[in-house]
């Protein structure tokens, strides 16, 4: 084969392996597609992976879209059981030791009154810990619901009410359209940046965020150092220790922030600043002149800022450490005293009885510790990745079509307005006839509901 044929073959293979940048098909979902005519971008450094490896997916927040046919008591994903293996093994060994000493050497027995008194205190402490943690979990979900609502409202107002100036100048109208799409991308960027901030991931080079904020000048983007910021691979021992809940295997979640030598800024706040600048620009240019809509957009921006402050409050205000230490100590004292109190009544059943009691008490306390921070990557944390993907899909739906014009859907012959009559049929009638039909529709709807209720009553009677 000649050199020319070899070069041509390699070029064809390279063309087949590299898909085009832009996908104009109906299945394209990304709002921000690079143009094939744009200048080549400068090469960037390595990206930070925001999602963990496939073998660790079992420990990620539970996917609410998946359905399991296993009964709850057999499920492991989301269960606290793996984190209870080591504590229960220790409790089982302790109970076995006390039982053997009581049987062969000397009975080690204390009054069951101690079990009652300590049980009340332990129950009170665990109840306080669990209720406080669940309150923080609910607060986190409420803030994210507020983010979704404010983002949808803001995207809808920008897409519908910001004018595109196509008639004076086609190029100017194109710029307006691309500006609106950029603003919608920034709304998605705010949610994704907030997710990473709540997980102590302070940079802008994550694989689901970089393409949304790479064109912005931010402290997080400037502070990135590939040599110091890239996380190293986890060893099998460390992954296993984290899965089993060993404190010695868990890293400081803020270590990436502590290692940074530059100002990391606040990326969600900076994105919000760019969004505010865009709103200000369209107001000044006369594209967005409705005062009521302007106030609603400003309220949405303020709502996003409230979400940022509220989620940071939940993240950075855990249960005071004194409570956590005291509840943990009281709980373990109670569990360690169980064999002394159960031996006189249960004998060798003391061992499994102590293990079951420890599983109940320590398990509930462990659940409280896990959901205390609802923004992490534990199985029972909020699925923030899914929330961000869902928000992006919803904003894609808003931007998928041009802002609808009322005449296109009101004056449509497929518009069955009343009694299966289309717009053209009713438009030929007088105002009095249309209003009479509206009154008749009310009477008819009431009669249909009454008839349906009567039919259901007769069927239930039978």
Query: Which tens digit of pLDDT belongs to each residue from 210-246?
Result: 899 989 999 888 887 776 555 666 667 666 766 666 6
Range with the poorest average pLDDT among 71-75, 91-95, 225-229 = 225-229
Bridge partners (DSSP) of residue 48 are 206
Averaged pLDDT, 31-49 = 43
pLDDT value at 299 more than 90: yes
Q: Which one is predicted more confidently, 3 or 426?
A: 426
* Cα 367-369-371 angle, rounded to 5 deg: 70
The whole-number pLDDT of residue 31 equals: 42
Instruction: Give the pLDDT band of residue 258 (cuts 50, 70, 90).
Output: confident
Range with the poorest average pLDDT among 61-65, 195-199, 411-415 = 61-65
Range with the poorest average pLDDT among 53-62, 109-118, 193-202 = 53-62
The whole-number pLDDT of residue 196 equals: 93
Mean pLDDT of the chain: 80
Distances in Å between the Cα of 84 and the Cα atoms of 240, 246, 321, 419, 460 are: 13, 10, 22, 64, 50
pTM of the entire structure? 0.79
| Residue count of the chain | 462
The whole-number pLDDT of residue 245 equals: 66
Location of structure tokens 């087949």: 16
Range with the poorest average pLDDT among 71-85, 187-201, 274-288, 431-445 = 71-85
Q: Which of 17-21, 232-236, 276-280, 378-382 has the highest mean pLDDT?
A: 276-280
Q: Which one is predicted more confidently, 312 or 445?
A: 312
The whole-number pLDDT of residue 246 equals: 65
pLDDT exceeding 90 applies to what percent of the chain?
Answer: 34
pLDDT value at 445 more than 90: no
Averaged pLDDT, 400-417 = 87
pLDDT value at 399 more than 70: yes
For residues 208 and 447, give the distance between their C-alpha atoms in angstroms, rounded to a whole number: 54
Question: In the numeric block, which tokens belong to residue 99?
Answer: 């039982």
Location of structure tokens 């010695």: 248
* Cα 281-286-287 angle, rounded to 5 deg: 80
CB within 8 A of 102, min separation 6: which ones? 108, 109, 339, 343
pLDDT value at 84 more than 60: yes
Averaged pLDDT, 298-323 = 92
| Residue 350 near residue 342, CB atoms below 8 Å | yes
Range with the poorest average pLDDT among 355-359, 378-382, 449-453 = 449-453
The whole-number pLDDT of residue 14 equals: 44
For residues 53 and 377, give the distance between their C-alpha atoms in angstroms, rounded to a whole number: 13
Write phi, then psi, for 269 (nearest 5 degrees): -65, -40
H, E, C per residue of 428-448 = CCCHHHHHHHHHHHHHHHHHH
Averaged pLDDT, 242-266 = 74
Q: Which one is predicted more confidently, 99 or 70?
A: 99
Query: Which of these, 39, 45, 434, 77, lies nearest to 210 by C-alpha position?
Result: 45
Query: Which of these, 350, 329, 328, lies nearest to 340 by C-alpha position?
Result: 350
């Amino acid at each position: 084969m000649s050199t020319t044929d070899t070069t041509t073959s390699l070029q064809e293979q390279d063309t087949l392996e590299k898909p085009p940048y832009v996908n104009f098909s109906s299945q394209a979902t990304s709002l921000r597609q690079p143009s094939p005519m744009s200048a080549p971008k400068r090469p960037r450094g390595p990206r930070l992976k925001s999602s963990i490896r496939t073998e660790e997916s079992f420990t990620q927040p539970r996917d609410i879209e998946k359905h399991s046919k296993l009964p709850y008591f057999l499920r492991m994903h989301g269960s606290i059981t793996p984190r209870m293996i080591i504590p229960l093994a220790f409790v089982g060994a302790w109970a076995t030791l006390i039982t053997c000493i009581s049987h062969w050497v000397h009975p080690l027995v204390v009054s069951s009154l101690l079990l009652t008194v300590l049980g009340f205190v332990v129950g009170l402490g665990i109840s306080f810990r669990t209720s406080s943690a669940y309150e923080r979990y609910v607060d986190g979900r409420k803030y994210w619901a507020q983010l979704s609502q404010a983002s949808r409202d803001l995207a809808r107002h920008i897409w519908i009410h910001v004018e595109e100036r196509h008639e004076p100048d086609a190029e100017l109208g194109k710029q307006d359209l691309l500006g609106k799409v950029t603003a919608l991308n920034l709304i998605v960027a705010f949610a994704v940046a907030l997710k990473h901030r709540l997980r102590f991931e302070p940079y802008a080079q994550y694989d689901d965020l970089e393409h949304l904020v790479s064109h912005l000048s931010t402290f997080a983007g400037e502070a990135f150092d590939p040599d110091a910021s890239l996380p190293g691979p986890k060893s099998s021992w460390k992954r296993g220790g984290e899965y089993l809940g060993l404190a010695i295997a868990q890293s400081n979640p803020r270590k990436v922030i502590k290692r940074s030598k530059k100002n990391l800024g606040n990326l969600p706040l900076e994105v919000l600043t760019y969004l505010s600048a865009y709103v200000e620009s369209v107001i000044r240019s006369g594209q967005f002149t409705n005062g009521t809509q302007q106030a609603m957009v400003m309220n949405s921006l303020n709502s996003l800022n409230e979400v940022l402050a509220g989620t940071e409050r939940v993240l950075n205000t855990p249960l005071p450490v004194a409570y956590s230490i005291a509840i943990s100590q009281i709980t373990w004292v109670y569990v360690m005293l169980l064999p002394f109190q159960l031996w006189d009544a249960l004998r060798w059943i003391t061992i499994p009885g102590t293990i079951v009691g420890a599983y109940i008490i320590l398990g509930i306390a462990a659940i409280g510790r896990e959901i205390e921070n609802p923004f992490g990557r534990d199985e029972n944390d909020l699925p923030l990745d899914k929330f961000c993907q869902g928000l992006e899909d919803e904003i894609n739906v808003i931007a998928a079509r041009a802002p609808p014009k009322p005449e296109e859907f009101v004056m449509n012959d497929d518009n069955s307005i009343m009694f299966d009559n289309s717009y053209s049929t009713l438009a030929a009638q007088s105002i009095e006839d249309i209003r009479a039909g509206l009154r008749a529709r009310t009477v008819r709807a009431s009669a249909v509901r009454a008839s349906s209720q009567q039919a259901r009553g007769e069927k239930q009677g039978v």
